[in-house]
Structure 1
Amino acid sequence: MSSTTSPASGVPGEESPPPRIVEDCLGVLQLLSDGTVKRVPPPLVLHQDDAALPDDDEAPVKWKDVVYDEANKLSLRMFVPSAGGGGGRGEKLPVLVFFHGGGFVIGTFAMPGFHAWCLRLAAELPAVVLSADYRLAPEHRLPAAHEDAESVLSWLRVQATTATTDTWLAETADFRRVFVSGDSAGANIAHHATVRVGSGSLPVDPVRVAGCVLLWPYFGGEERTPSEVACPGDAFLTLALYDQMWRIALPVGTTRDHPAANPFGPDSPGLGEGDTVGLPPMLVATGDHDMLVDRIRDYVARLKAAGRQVELVEFAGQAHAFAVFKPDGEDAAELVRVVRRFLHGGGAA
């Protein structure tokens, strides 16, 4: 991503003071006082570095990267089980559109944890998994990421309606069984994309959004919850990191009650009883040691009170993003089983 620098002072013989660090996020993202953004490149899984090459017929899942937004240079990683649907019987598979986490400020689908998690989902659900990148803050503050999610679904709509459909999608994807999903900030993105589809402001037909899967969704709010206040300092997602990421990601001058952060904030679109937003069945999962667990429970309770079909699954002893940090773990395996029942059973687990 490009960086910006401040202009020279314009005073002869006077040097501008060196820029200072305004924000340092996990040592991988620094925002300087002159507007410069510095990023440490993360480890990535690329085609030449992975044994499961896209054209490897022996691999359980084939994958490749596809550009979905030329203007913003944004891609998604497509994962397709090599055997296709129905154990090779030619049946079409559900499509899971997945957005990675990272507090809207870091992350990419090519990071090892996200890549391994999506490989597992594609193989064991089974499903066509479309893991999408999006623009990051502070270079692109919210709602940029939400707009990119809409571009992903619009791209998928084109794939379902034209003769130039990607071959892999044409052969395996059931466009009437599309599920919007994500983890952490990606789950926030999935929520907003699903609301836009449900309100009719984002047309996707003939694509049908059949459900929404939110993994430890990253929502915000000015009022602290008990689990936020009690968060231990040695957790990955701490209150300080949570506040910092929202500060970097939200529009300048706004609070955590901004609609992009708080789905039930004072200016957020109505999701209560009697509103006109049509939501599909929803599955929400988190660990009971997640700092955000109280906020997530409240989100589910409010939707249930409004008559929405939504279920919450909690994993005892697990913290934020546990399946991404340990995609081969047993709790991650159980989460895959829960998601599988939701995708293939037609309802909440």
Structure 2
Amino acid sequence: MSSSSSSPPPHVVEDCRGVVQLLSDGTIRRSPDPIFPVDSDRDDGSVEWKDVLFDPTHSLFLRLYRPRPSHELSDYDNEKLPVLVYFHGGGFCIGSRTWPNFHAGCLRLAAELGVLVVSADYRLAPEHRLPAAIDDGATALLWLKSQAEAEAGAGADPWLAESADFSRVFVSGESAGGNIAHHMAVRFGPAGLNPVRIRGFVLIMPGFSGPDRTRSELECPADAFLNLELFDRYARLALPRGATRDHPLFNPFGPESPGLGPVETGPVLVVAAERDILRDRDVEYATKMRGLGKRVELVEFEGQEHAFFSRMPWSEPAGELVRVIKRFVDDLSNEESV
């Protein structure tokens, strides 16, 4: 009787908040259950929403949010609304437009900004490593461009045809979504999606990195919502295989990153959080972009941790963030179009 040795069962080698697990045999487990539940009772019905397929090739959907006609909007001169494109966070590995926390945040943005929100999904790592998410962000914006081109004819989504002012579009995102928003600014700028005009970009605690540890990374406590171990795990799973934290998709100013000096990005609002592991990266980003002559505003929220907006979308700090974004949107919406 021959003897044979059995291999040990696969074990978890990488775990992202229990949502995504990479096993030793290369298998990936992904839970369909959302995390970060929020208070659903705060939805007062002032915003309507629906899902739309924007990329049939990859089966990607976006969620449109529109303030109902009876809801009091901002004091804009015409009936059509500015458009805010929003990319969710999650380290490029987890998250969806359907998660209750991201959904709640977009409800609040639509209601309190008086805008039409476009919350777009993107492919997630490690099944789809970068640049997949960046490419999907571009696909979402190109879809918006196609909607603007079809506005006067057949084929446009009725909500966008009725309510969207394509001359006042803003591109935003939180954490990984803020990284995507940066790359959209570099790729398209204000005028690269004509007839869409992007008035500004909103980077909320954007996810950037580099080869050397910053002070906020080194001093980040282990019990922080986003700590150093988890941040590095996201990077390992999201970046192309063999890439380092200095990769151009993570480090806009790295040795292999394209020079941003001649790039017209338009106005950028950078939101940082004092107790965020990414705080120093975000401040550095704003400082260096200003040094390149870019129009960049930096707002830092004292006492807040990473992703405070999407984790606590109904909180007062989240409300203050919405007011900051509203000022940015209102000011740029009222500027003369170039």
Residue 224 of structure 1 deviates from its aligned partner by 0.5
Is the contact between residue 190 and residue 197 of structure 2 (CA under 8 Å) also seen in structure 1? no
Structure-to-structure mapping, 1:305-344, within 5 angstroms: 305-344=291-330
Partners of 1:325 and 1:21 in 2: CA distance: 26
2:288 matched residue in structure 1: 302
2:260 matched residue in structure 1: 271
Residue 37 of structure 1 deviates from its aligned partner by 0.5
1:95 matched residue in structure 2: 83
2:187 matched residue in structure 1: 196
Does residue 167 in structure 1 map to residue 153 in structure 2? Answer: no
Structure-to-structure mapping, 1:173-322, within 5 angstroms: 173-198=164-189, 203-272=192-261, 275=262, 277-322=263-308
Residue 280 of structure 1 deviates from its aligned partner by 0.9
**Partner AA of 1:150 in structure 2:** A
Partners of 1:283 and 1:211 in 2: CA distance: 8
SS in 1 for 2:128: coil
Residue 198 of structure 1 deviates from its aligned partner by 2.8
SS in 1 for 2:189: helix
Partners of 1:278 and 1:89 in 2: CA distance: 28
Residue 22 of structure 1 deviates from its aligned partner by 2.1
**Partner AA of 1:41 in structure 2:** P
Partners of 2:58 and 2:214 in 1: CA distance: 37
**TM-score scaled by length of structure 2:** 0.90
2:142 matched residue in structure 1: 154
Partners of 1:281 and 1:253 in 2: CA distance: 34
Does residue 121 in structure 1 map to residue 109 in structure 2? Answer: yes
Instruction: In structure 1, list runs of 5 or more residues that go unmatched.
Output: 1-11
Identical positions, percent = 55
SS in 2 for 1:91: coil
Which of 42, 49, 63 aligns to 2:49? It is 63
Greater relative CO, 1 or 2 (CA 8 Å, sep 6+): 2
- Output the aligned Cα RMSD: 2.4
Residue 199 of structure 1 deviates from its aligned partner by 9.7
In the superposition, relative to structure 1, how do residues 251 and 88 fare at CA in structure 2: closer, same or farther (>3 Å)? Answer: closer
1:33 matched residue in structure 2: 24
Residue 42 of structure 1 deviates from its aligned partner by 2.3
Is the contact between residue 29 and residue 38 of structure 1 (CA under 8 Å) also seen in structure 2? yes
Partners of 1:60 and 1:169 in 2: CA distance: 18
1:91-113 Cα deviation digits (max 9, x unpaired):
11111100000000000011111
Partners of 2:331 and 2:103 in 1: CA distance: 25
Partners of 2:297 and 2:231 in 1: CA distance: 25
**Partner AA of 1:186 in structure 2:** G
1:116-159 Cα deviation digits (max 9, x unpaired):
00000000001010011100000000000000001001100110
Partners of 2:245 and 2:167 in 1: CA distance: 35
Is the contact between residue 44 and residue 110 of structure 1 (CA under 8 Å) also seen in structure 2? no
Does residue 145 in structure 1 map to residue 133 in structure 2? Answer: yes
Instruction: In structure 2, list runs of 5 or more residues that go unmatched.
Output: none
Which of 93, 106, 126 aligns to 1:105? It is 93
**Partner AA of 1:268 in structure 2:** S
Partners of 2:131 and 2:123 in 1: CA distance: 10
**Partner AA of 1:193 in structure 2:** M
